[in-house]
Amino acid sequence: MRKRQEAGKGTDMSGMATKPDYLMLAIETSCDETSVAVVKGGRQILSNIVSSQIETHRQFGGVVPEIASRKHVESITVIIEEAFKKAGVSPGDIDTVAVTQGPGLVGALLVGIVAAKSLALALDVPLIGTHHIAGHIYANQLIGDILYPALALVVSGGHTELVLIEKEGQFRIVGRTRDDAVGEAYDKVARALKFPYPGGPHVDRLAHEAQDEVVLPRSWLEPDSYDFSFSGLKSAVLAEINRSRMKGETPDFSALARGFQQSVIDVVTGKAMRAAAEFGVRQLLLCGGVAANRGLRETLTALCREANLPLLIPPHVLCTDNAAMIGAAADLKWRRSEFTSLDMKAEPGFSLEDWSVKG
Amino acid sequence: MQRNNKEIHTLEFVLHAQNEADTAHFAAALAQLAAPGTLLALDGDLGAGKTRFAQAFAHGLGVPGTVNSPTYTIIKEYDGGKLPFYHMDVYRLSLPEADELGLDEYFHGEGVTLVEWASIIEPILPPERLHIRLETTGPHSRKIVCRPIGQRYEAWCRQLRLRKAEEEGTAG
């Protein structure tokens, strides 16, 4: 077994460093999406297939959320084949396999991990267990060069974090949500405003159309904290709706949406800019599904221009969960030959800081 | 039938929490009763404070670090307390979807499970459990209704009633 691995192309260390155009298969199944990508040289996307976005998925009766392991199992082989086909490469061309190891739902993670291990073993190439949030952050590497130290504002349905990246692949979480993630707060407020779930984008749109604003509280927490809390803001929206109803009035949903959005944006961008200044970063990275929020993008773009701070925001398809971003993060480990052994386990509560590169 | 209803009613434990601190105190006290396999089925409207309740419960179990909402990941597992803590939120799920997740492994595991929006998956919850309903009675006040199913949780409610009576006795 060991002999065979030594002979494998992936574990030939000298060959790796001199192979800038290596091919990686990347797999992401941490939560709702099954996604597989082929990435060349860590930067060039040859294919990036996401289950909810393809027609073939529908014939399996795919539903959202696709959290159940069975749904991932049904999708994974089809999506792997599709990723190879679209990239125009065959499995034998692959130099390494990367997969999301965590955080996420254990049953969902396992489907991707089992597929990745099987492929790595069969193709005799190294395996790279990858952190989901590192993927969101390094999605930015697919569109530009990251300048260090950098600060990443990760905003999605499941995560709200401020991450300092002092050097390439060195992660330090400086702030995180203490209750709801920002995307979740959006979706829950959307529900209160009678939008179908998930309704975050509707709130963004309504906030833009609003003529008035119901001013809602800002949750800054302790003066020196970079943590977030959105639970109180959600309650404030609900209380405002109740107050109007008790007075026999119709609540002004668009003014509420504007008030909610302004509060979120003030706090999120305010903390990000303060952290960027304190840590003297050279670049700000916006990532995660909520990076699609127009209000957030516009405000952050304006603030960064004012502060003369370069800002990177990936296009929408690279902000939501996808496998190409996992490939971009795994590239950090590939270039350092930091591979993962085949007995790797899914890590539902995987620590980003622990995943930092060693070299 | 009426007698049955009355019986169920008297098995319940009801607490009127004046503020968030009262609710948190009660949640932390409940954690002292927890044992492997404990299941708390939590319900209440959006903004009733389910996640806040879960945080205080986790704190009572001695879980270190941040306990935040599991709405997106459905399940978050925490070690480091006196028992493993499985924090679930089935808000995004339908019953058939939840059924496919294999939640049983958690319910019958070594840890303590708290499920937010539990009524969505009531048919697949274990036969013995404590239902907790958070009702919003004011901006900060909540009515907390604990409904036990099974002897283990009936005993919990008896104990909670006794403790409450003692506290009220002392206060008066």
Q: Is residue B6 part of a domain?
A: no
Cα distances (angstroms) measured from residue A255 to each of A193, A196, A201, A213: 11, 19, 16, 4
* A148-206: pLDDT as tens digits: 999 999 999 889 999 999 999 999 999 999 999 999 999 899 989 988 877 888 999 99
CATH 3.30.420.40 corresponds to the domain A2-138+319-355: yes
**Total structural domains within chain B:** 1
Considering only the beta carbons, identify the residue of A31, A179, A188 that sits closest to B46: A188
- B57 to chain A, any CB pair closer than 8 A? The answer is no
DSSP string, A26-68: EEE-SSS--EEEEEETTTEEEEEEEGGG-HHHHTTT--SS--S
- B69 to chain A, any CB pair closer than 8 A? The answer is yes
Q: Is residue B5 part of a domain?
A: no
CATH 3.90.1150.10 corresponds to the domain A146-313: no
Mean pLDDT of chain B: 90
Report angle CA B80, B81, B86 to the nearest 5 degrees. 90
Q: Is residue B4 part of a domain?
A: no
- B35 to chain A, any CB pair closer than 8 A? The answer is no
Among A105-109, A350-354, B23-27, the minimum mean pLDDT is found in A105-109
The domain ranges of chain A are 2-138+319-355, 146-313
Q: Give the helix/strand (H/E) hosting A107.
A: helix A106-123
Tokens of A41: 């040289």
* B32-87: pLDDT as tens digits: 999 999 999 999 998 899 999 999 999 999 999 889 999 888 899 999 999 999 99
Cβ of A69 and B102 within 8 Å? yes
Tokens of B76: 């978050």
How far apart, in whole angstroms, are the C-alpha atoms of residue B93 and residue B101? 10
Contact list, B75 vs chain A (CB under 8 Å): 105-106, 348
Cβ of A191 and B102 within 8 Å? no
Please report, for the domain that includes residue B22, its CATH number: 3.40.50.300
Neighbours of A1 (CB within 10 A): 7
Contact list, B102 vs chain A (CB under 8 Å): 69, 107
The interface predicted TM-score (ipTM) is 0.79
Q: Is residue B102 part of a domain?
A: yes
SS3 label, residue B98: helix
Minimal CA separation from A350 to chain B, in Å: 11
Cβ of B68 and A177 within 8 Å? yes
Q: Is residue B130 part of a domain?
A: yes
> Domain of B149?
13-171
Considering only the beta carbons, identify the residue of A178, A188, A349 that sits closest to B76: A349
User: Is residue A57 over pLDDT 50?
Assistant: no
Q: Is residue B71 part of a domain?
A: yes
Q: Are A351 and A129 in contact (CB under 8 A)?
A: no
pLDDT of residue B94: 85
Report angle CA A160, A97, A88 to the nearest 5 degrees. 105
DSSP class of A177: B
